[in-house]
């Protein structure tokens, strides 16, 4: 039992003291991530351990925000208990709302996990969460408390279905019960994520009604949410982004034993060396290293034949989102000319949601591409989320193709404000 200094109340979880300035420890070597004995018996979302942390851009530029990490009990794809971590941020002008932001982890190395990559002293060059954190800081300026879960779980299960939803929803449960955040069980909660984070957000939105029906989820924003990971796998092979299919194989091997067996049976020695090498790479490093790599060069049968195996077909069916209608309203934003996520795949995900009865607002953006859409659409997304927090009635479902989500006076002001947030974060640090 420990005492929370901010409230004077006794807490049932151990609290670590803030250390002096040291390099962050990788999760596999950090005892904070180790689940305590008997944790399996407590309900999902129960906090197991807490520590204050310092947050920094790219591990070096400290940001002035109150931050903690919560170790909590969650569930894996097989229904077994595991320990997850979320990083929670509270601005000084906090409103009684919570945003769960799912980063595009897009890798299996622990250096890609936001709980490591966002800490002061982290050595995670090329981890996508370090770039996305600029948008998180911008959301913090609105006074929203934010939870950033390691939604791949402790073992980096990138591409796994459902499990990112469990990790995200249990991270929300943990955040709502953490007294320094001054939230409660009926706090309005929203979800947001882009690309790989949009896929994780899709799973959280889909799993919420059955897995965490008590949460007051008011909306979910899905930016470029992949739509069909199997389609993306085959389309990106041998392109500039060929590392992404390889990283998906590395992640799904950890989730599906039958896939690991098939990989060991058909992948040659050079291919296994590549798979082993990406285990320690950040996303950007892997993309740079494996550009134009063709998986056909590393297997003993044609790739098309391998992908036609019943076990692979079943896995690709499992990992495709969109079969369950989320109970909260959805905002989906996708670039028409996205070079990584095909517009047809996201169209398909939206169609499945609509057919299942979900309330969807879908914006198809003509002038952006994958990397530019996220910051350009952030003001529109944040305004939509703000309306959900304020209880403003949701507009009628719609599917629209627009020239740009940034072509409005409000969006232009939002982009200018985001630019100012970026300048401050990279110079004096943002105080929120």
Active site residue 277: no
Active site residue 338: yes
Residues 6+ apart with CB under 8 A from 55: 62, 63, 65, 67, 87, 89, 118, 119, 120, 133
Q: Is 408 exposed, middle or buried (0-12, 13-18, 19+ CB in 10 A)?
A: middle
- 3-state SS, residue 372: helix
DSSP codes joined into one string, 51-95: EE--BEETTTEE-B-EEEEEEEEEE-TTS-EEEEEEEEEE-TT--
Whole-angstrom Cα distance, residue 241 to residue 235? Answer: 10
Whole-angstrom Cα distance, residue 217 to residue 23? Answer: 36
Which of 110, 115, 160, 195 is the catalytic position? 195
Active site residue 151: no
Whole-angstrom Cα distance, residue 277 to residue 246? Answer: 10
- Which of left, alpha, beta for 143 (phi over 0: left; psi -120 to 50: alpha)? left
Which of 66, 106, 170, 338 is the catalytic position? 338
CB 323 within 8 A of CB 352: yes
CA-based nearest residue to 85, from 106, 55, 113: 113
Angle, CA of 113, 163 and 212, to the nearest 5°: 110
- Residues linked to residue 194 through DSSP beta bridges, in sequence order: 223
How far, in Å, are 26, 150, 159, 342, 374 from residue 115 at the CA level?
10, 7, 19, 30, 21
Whole-angstrom Cα distance, residue 416 to residue 409? Answer: 11
- 3-state SS, 227-238, equals CCHHHHHHHHCC
Which of 151, 293, 370, 374 is the catalytic position? 370
Q: Catalytic residue numbers?
A: 195, 338, 370
């Amino acid at each position: 039992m420990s005492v929370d200094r901010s409230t004077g109340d006794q807490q049932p979880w151990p609290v670590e003291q803030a250390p002096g300035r040291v390099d962050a420890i990788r999760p596999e070597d950090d005892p904070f991530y180790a689940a305590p004995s008997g944790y399996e018996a407590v309900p999902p979302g129960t906090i197991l351990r807490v520590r204050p942390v310092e947050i920094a851009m790219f591990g070096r530029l400290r940001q002035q925000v109150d931050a903690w990490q919560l170790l909590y009990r969650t569930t894996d794809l097989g229904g077994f208990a595991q320990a997850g971590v979320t990083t929670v941020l509270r601005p000084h002008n906090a409103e009684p709302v919570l945003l769960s932001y799912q980063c595009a982890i897009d890798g299996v190395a622990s250096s890609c996990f936001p709980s490591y990559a966002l800490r002061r002293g982290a050595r995670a060059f090329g981890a996508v969460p370090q770039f996305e954190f600029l948008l998180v800081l911008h959301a913090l300026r609105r006074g929203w408390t934010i939870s950033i879960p390691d939604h791949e779980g402790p073992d980096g299960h990138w591409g796994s279905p459902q499990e990112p939803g469990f990790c995200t929803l249990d991270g929300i449960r943990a955040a709502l019960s953490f007294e320094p955040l001054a939230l409660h069980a009926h706090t309005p909660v929203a979800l947001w994520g882009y690309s790989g984070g949009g896929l994780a957000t899709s799973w959280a939105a889909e799993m919420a009604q059955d897995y965490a029906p008590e949460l007051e989820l008011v909306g979910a924003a899905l930016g470029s949410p992949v739509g069909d990971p199997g389609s993306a796998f085959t389309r990106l092979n041998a392109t500039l982004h060929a590392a992404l299919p390889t990283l998906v194989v590395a992640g799904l091997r950890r989730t599906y034993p039958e896939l690991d067996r098939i990989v060991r049976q058909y992948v040659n020695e050079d291919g296994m060396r590549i798979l082993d090498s990406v285990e320690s790479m950040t996303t950007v490093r892997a993309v740079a290293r494996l550009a134009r790599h063709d998986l056909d060069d590393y297997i003993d049968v044609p790739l098309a034949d391998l992908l036609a195996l019943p076990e692979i077909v079943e896995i690709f069916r499992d990992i495709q989102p969109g079969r369950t209608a989320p109970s909260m309203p959805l905002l989906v934003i996708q670039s028409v000319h996205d070079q990584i996520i095909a517009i047809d795949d996201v169209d398909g995900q939206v169609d499945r949601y609509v057919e299942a009865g979900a309330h969807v607002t879908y914006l198809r953006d003509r002038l952006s591409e994958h990397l530019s859409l996220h910051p350009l659409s952030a003001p529109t997304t944040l305004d939509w989320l703000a309306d959900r927090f304020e209880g403003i009635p949701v507009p009628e479902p719609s599917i629209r193709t627009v020239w740009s989500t940034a072509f409005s006076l409000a969006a232009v002001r939002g982009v200018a404000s985001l630019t100012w947030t970026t300048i401050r974060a990279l110079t004096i640090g943002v105080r929120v």
